[in-house]
Structure 1
Amino acid sequence: MEPDTIIPKDKQTTPGLYLTAREAYEKWKTDPGKVKIIDVRTPEEYLFVGHPTMAWKIPIAIQSYEWDAEKGQFPMKPLPDFATRVKEIATPDDTLLLMCRSGGRSAIAVNMLAKAGFSHLYNIIDGMEGDAVNDPASVFNGQRMRNGWKNSGCPWTFKLTPEQMVLPALP
């Protein structure tokens, strides 16, 4: 990542380690046994948006279906067992590269794992879909097409890989 890159506040983490999607893919290729990519999005996102082919899919939150009129959305509900589920596939000495849609939820996940004793944690700041185009003259204005895993030529798929999912227990 460029040394003078300014990380938006909602993507900043306690460890302060950041990668772009392309850099994360290159880092993973150096040692796939010790470097793990963890996608913290919801199963719905894996299914309908796709996911990195090698990523572990460990949601940090679930989609609620209770409308929040003030925010104008269906908010996410955090999953308190997130760090416990990550410990099923990684040790505190592994290098973990965390991603979400665009870097916000993965920053929260990095901070949670840092508190749980993990030390080599990177936030993939452009996530799976990347940042939105901010150009009113563009037909792509507002769409997430500027960077991110999908837009950087990194390998991804819609094919679900249950053996790489660590989902929360059903209630």
Structure 2
Amino acid sequence: MTVAEASKLDELLDAAQSEARAAGLGYAGGVSPQEAWALHQAGLARIVDVRTAEERKFVGHPPGTDHVAWATGTSMTRNPRFVRELEAKVGKEAKVLLLCRSGKRSVLAAEAATQAGFPHAFNILEGFEGELDPLGHRGAADGWRFHGLPWVQD
């Protein structure tokens, strides 16, 4: 990666933060799945999957990413240790890109991280599987997998 390419990716995060401030969001902002992968590949940000361990294992996940569950089990009980576990994995100053199924849980996780002192907690828009389509299926219109980004399954 060239210095110019790295600079462009840093500018992308700066723009996301400016947009988030203007919109009054309680976190650093949102990035597309493609932008998240580029930032991760360049070593400029860490992707942290906040889905359950079961989702990550059976549905798949981007390779080389970290995992800290926002909630656990079929009842989706909030993980009370989320912030501590996130800090242990990446540190508070890291540029962290949070990923869930559709981009909703990761917003909650980004807000919690920001409130706990993480200044660079971003949401990955669309999530791993995307929104439900009219037939109740995911992955037909948006999301990490829809865009053909790398993923692995255990």
Same fold per TM (> 0.5)?
Answer: yes
Q: What is the alpha-carbon distance in structure 2 between the residues aligned to residue 133 and residue 48 of structure 1?
A: 21
SS in 1 for 2:123: strand
Question: What is the match of residue 91 of structure 1?
Answer: 91
> Given residue 152 of structure 2, which amino acid in structure 1 is its aligned partner?
T
Question: What is the match of residue 55 of structure 1?
Answer: 65
Question: What is the match of residue 80 of structure 2?
Answer: 80
**Aligned length in residues:** 132
Structure 1, gaps ≥5 residues long: 4-11, 65-74, 135-140, 160-171
Off by >3 Å, runs of 4+ in structure 1: none
Q: What is the alpha-carbon distance in structure 1 between the residues aligned to residue 104 and residue 27 of structure 2?
A: 15
The CA deviation string for residues 52-109 of structure 1, in whole angstroms up to 9 with x for no partner, is 1121011011114xxxxxxxxxx31001100100111212211000010001110110
Aligned CA-pair RMSD = 1.9
Question: What is the match of residue 23 of structure 1?
Answer: 35
Residues 114 and 121, structure 1, Cα contact 8 Å, conserved in 2: yes
The percentage of counterpart residues that share the same residue type is: 33
SS in 1 for 2:118: coil
Give me the TM-score of the superposition, normalised by structure 2: 0.79
The CA deviation string for residues 7-32 of structure 1, in whole angstroms up to 9 with x for no partner, is xxxxx94125101211211121222x
> Given residue 149 of structure 2, which amino acid in structure 1 is its aligned partner?
C
Q: What is the alpha-carbon distance in structure 2 between the residues aligned to residue 26 and residue 15 of structure 1?
A: 21
Q: Pick 1 or 2: higher relative contact order, CA cutoff 8 A, min separation 6.
A: 1
Alpha-carbon spacing, 1:19–1:76, altered in 2? closer, same or farther (3 Å): same
> Given residue 143 of structure 2, which amino acid in structure 1 is its aligned partner?
G
Alpha-carbon spacing, 1:94–1:45, altered in 2? closer, same or farther (3 Å): same
Give me the TM-score of the superposition, normalised by structure 1: 0.71
Q: What is the alpha-carbon distance in structure 2 between the residues aligned to residue 117 and residue 19 of structure 1?
A: 20
Question: What is the match of residue 6 of structure 2?
Answer: none
Alpha-carbon spacing, 1:103–1:13, altered in 2? closer, same or farther (3 Å): farther
Trace 1:1-171 onto structure 2 (pairs within 5 A): 13-31=25-43, 34-64=44-74, 75-134=75-134, 141-145=135-139, 146-159=141-154
> Given residue 83 of structure 1, which amino acid in structure 2 is its aligned partner?
V
Residues 39 and 45, structure 2, Cα contact 8 Å, conserved in 1: yes
Structure 2, gaps ≥5 residues long: 1-11, 16-23
Q: What is the alpha-carbon distance in structure 2 between the residues aligned to residue 142 and residue 22 of structure 1?
A: 24
